[in-house]
């Protein structure tokens, strides 16, 4: 499998009046051609900031302070952190080679232009074709994402379409330029379950046709299990465990992953009390010293976990974990 994207030791920090928030703090992972990498974590763990760092669409207060984001574009390798976020080269990559779909589709389409106008504009920005050709491509893409009456949807405004339909339009728009990497940031969170199931089914189908590598961000372990090949679990700005999806669910190693899997209510397994994770996610301005999970951890080792930060160890093929229980000293 060929690498298309590799993130090395990425650190993205926010400089705010109250202090520095180390939202992403030493994240490394790679994304291979044609695979779906699921990134799972709770709010504030840095999963969206990681995505925004790759796309270089961070808010003004954020800065990439360290690390590399390597992107394989044909023969060249570019480090996206070195590019000007508003420069020509990054603008060419963004939307064409790396596309993104967002959680709130209604917020991503402007209400004053039709869906078609916006899709066509995106295509024309990157491709040298006529307006008619672009319209035909947009139409073809809407058919691909199974929108009924695609012709009429092209001429409608975002507020005339339901959330599920708009999410399909956004997927169509993102895939229309056949990107190498597709970043999906919680694309089904705002949708109802039956619509979510439709979108997951659709993406699984499209994945077979387009060879795009997908980075799928979510907080939902169910969605992760259904869609990804590999999973990275994030906690407070760091990846604590990476594994192939079956390994992760069958043999979770990091105490946080284990607790997370135990705490979700499951269908067909009714039990009166859920095993909750104790405590709350710590204040981002004062991160715990040592392992960031130590104050909520069941296997906390005094004098070790609260003093030093574990390094990542490879426990099994492609199964890496950042915890002293498995070495990492």
Partner 1 sequence: MATGHKLLEVRNLKKYFPIEKGFFKRVVAYVKAVDGISFDLFEGETLALVGESGCGKTTTARCILRAIDPTEGQILLNIDGRMVDVAKLSRKELKPLRRYMQLIFQNPYTSLNPRLKVKEIVGEPLFVNKIAKGKELEEKVAELLEAVGLRPEYMVRYPHAFSGGQRQRIVIARALALRPRLVICDEPVAALDVSIRAQILNLLMELQEKFKLTYIFISHDLSVVQHVSDRVAVMYLGRIVELASTEELFDSPKHPYTESLLLSVPKPDPEAVEEFRPIEGEVPSPVNPPSGCHFHPRCQYAEEVCRTTVPEFRDVGLLENPHYVACHFAERLSLKGVRQL
Taking the complex as a whole, the smallest distance from the CB of residue 13 to partner 1 amounts, in Å, to 22
Count of CA atoms in the C-beta half-sphere (13 A) of 254? 31
Which of residues 72 and 109 has its CB atom nearest to partner 1 in the complex? 109
* Distance between CA atoms of residues 35 and 44, nearest Å: 25
Interface residue list for partner 1 (CB under 8 A): 42-43, 162, 164-165, 192-198, 200-201, 219-226, 228, 245-246, 248-250, 259-261, 263-268, 270-277, 280-281
Which of residues 156 and 219 has its CB atom nearest to partner 1 in the complex? 219
Taking the complex as a whole, the smallest distance from the CB of residue 87 to partner 1 amounts, in Å, to 37
Taking the complex as a whole, the smallest distance from the CB of residue 299 to partner 1 amounts, in Å, to 16
Helices 131-144 + 163-175 axis angle, to 10: 120
Which of residues 41 and 310 has its CB atom nearest to partner 1 in the complex? 41
Q: Which residues lie below 8 Å from residue 241, measured CB to CB, with a gap of 6+?
A: 232, 233, 248, 252, 253, 254, 256, 257, 319, 320, 321, 322, 323
Which of residues 164 and 237 has its CB atom nearest to partner 1 in the complex? 164
**C-alpha triplet 230, 21, 238: angle, nearest 5°:** 20
Taking the complex as a whole, the smallest distance from the CB of residue 221 to partner 1 amounts, in Å, to 4
Taking the complex as a whole, the smallest distance from the CB of residue 231 to partner 1 amounts, in Å, to 9
Which of residues 275 and 316 has its CB atom nearest to partner 1 in the complex? 275
Which of residues 162 and 311 has its CB atom nearest to partner 1 in the complex? 162
Taking the complex as a whole, the smallest distance from the CB of residue 316 to partner 1 amounts, in Å, to 16
Helices 131-144 + 115-126 axis angle, to 10: 120
* Distance between CA atoms of residues 265 and 290, nearest Å: 31
Q: Which residues lie below 8 Å from residue 243, measured CB to CB, with a gap of 6+?
A: 230, 231, 251, 253, 316, 318, 319, 320
Q: Which of 182, 187, 301, 309 is nearest to 238 (CA)?
A: 309
């Amino acid at each position: 499998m060929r690498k298309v994207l590799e993130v090395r030791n990425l650190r993205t920090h926010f400089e705010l009046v109250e202090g520095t928030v180390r939202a992403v703090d030493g994240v490394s992972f790679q994304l291979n051609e044609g695979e779906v990498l699921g990134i799972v974590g709770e709010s504030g763990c840095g999963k969206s900031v990681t995505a925004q760092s790759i796309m270089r669409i961070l808010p003004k207060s954020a800065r990439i302070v360290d690390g590399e984001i390597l992107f394989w574009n044909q023969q060249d390798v570019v480090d996206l952190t070195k590019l000007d976020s508003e420069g020509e080269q990054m603008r060419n990559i963004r939307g064409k080679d790396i596309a993104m779909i967002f959680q709130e589709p209604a917020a991503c389409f402007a209400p004053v232009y039709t869906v078609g106008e916006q899709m066509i504009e995106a295509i024309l920005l990157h491709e040298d074709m006529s307006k008619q050709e672009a319209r035909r491509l947009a139409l073809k893409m809407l058919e691909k994402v199974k929108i009924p009456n695609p012709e009429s949807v092209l001429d409608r405004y975002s507020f005339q379409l339901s959330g599920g339909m708009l999410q399909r339009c956004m997927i169509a728009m993102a895939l229309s330029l056949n990107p190498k990497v597709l970043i999906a940031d919680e694309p089904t969170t705002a949708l109802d379950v039956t619509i979510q199931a439709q979108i997951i089914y659709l993406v699984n189908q499209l994945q077979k046709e387009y060879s795009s590598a997908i980075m799928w961000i979510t907080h939902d372990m169910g969605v992760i299990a259904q869609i990804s090949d590999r999973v990275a679990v994030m906690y407070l700005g760091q990846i604590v465990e990476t594994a192939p999806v079956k390994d992760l669910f069958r043999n979770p190693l990091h105490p946080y992953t284990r607790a997370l899997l135990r705490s979700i209510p499951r269908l067909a397994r009714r039990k009166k009390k859920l095993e909750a994770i104790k405590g709350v996610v710590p204040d981002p301005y004062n991160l715990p010293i040592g392992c960031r999970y130590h104050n909520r951890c069941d296997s906390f080792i005094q004098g070790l976990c609260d003093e030093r930060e574990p390094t990542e160890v490879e426990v099994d093929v492609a199964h890496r974990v950042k915890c002293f229980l498995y070495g990492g000293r």
